[in-house]
Amino acid sequence: MTGAINKSYLMILLENHIRYLKENAEPFSFAYIDIDNFKWVNDNLGHHIGDKILIQVSKIGKEYLDAMGYFARLGGDEFAILVPYQSYEVSKAIVKSFQYECNKFFKKEKFPVSLSIGLVTFYNLPESIEKLIKEADTLMYKVKKKSKNGLISKVL
């Protein structure tokens, strides 16, 4: 429905990039994204509005990553961004621009949603793909617990 990469394909991309990074000292970033208040939208405004939000978030994600990285839907209202070979600063700027454009769309349409994002830039390889995802997911949950509609990032 959204045209975003699915979780299975994202896992293959992550495996391939980690394998490449074992041989080459290149950074990569991974962002875990959750749409705040999405369940409320589906329950109160209808699934057709929820679908509109998912489709537009995916469209913006694909536009902002273009040739710089990958945009994936993990399931439900959760998404991921993979930015290989870019510095922390570049990756964070890409993710912040994506978030800004999504929030602009939400505001224009008067949708009561926002994005909580956890971003990790790896200069050292993670122990596993699961650890990589958990690092970004943990940061995303810190945003949700704090105030929602934010971005927390770190470098490893």
pLDDT tens for residues 30-61? 999 999 999 999 999 999 999 999 999 999 99
pTM of the entire predicted model: 0.95
Q: Quick one: pLDDT at residue 24? A: 85
Low-confidence spans in the chain with pLDDT less than 70 = none
- Expressed as residue numbers, the domain containing 47 is 5-155
Domain containing residue 86: CATH number: 3.30.70.270
Query: Is 133 in contact with 32 (CB distance < 8 Å)?
Result: yes
Q: Quick one: pLDDT at residue 17? A: 86
Number of domains in the chain: 1
d(CA 84, CA 17): 7
Q: Quick one: pLDDT at residue 78? A: 98
d(CA 38, CA 127): 32
Q: Quick one: pLDDT at residue 71? A: 97
Q: Quick one: pLDDT at residue 4? A: 93
CA angle at 76 for the pair 71 and 82, rounded to the nearest 5°: 20
Let me know if 117 is exposed, middle or buried by CB neighbors in 10 A (0-12, 13-18, 19+).
Answer: buried
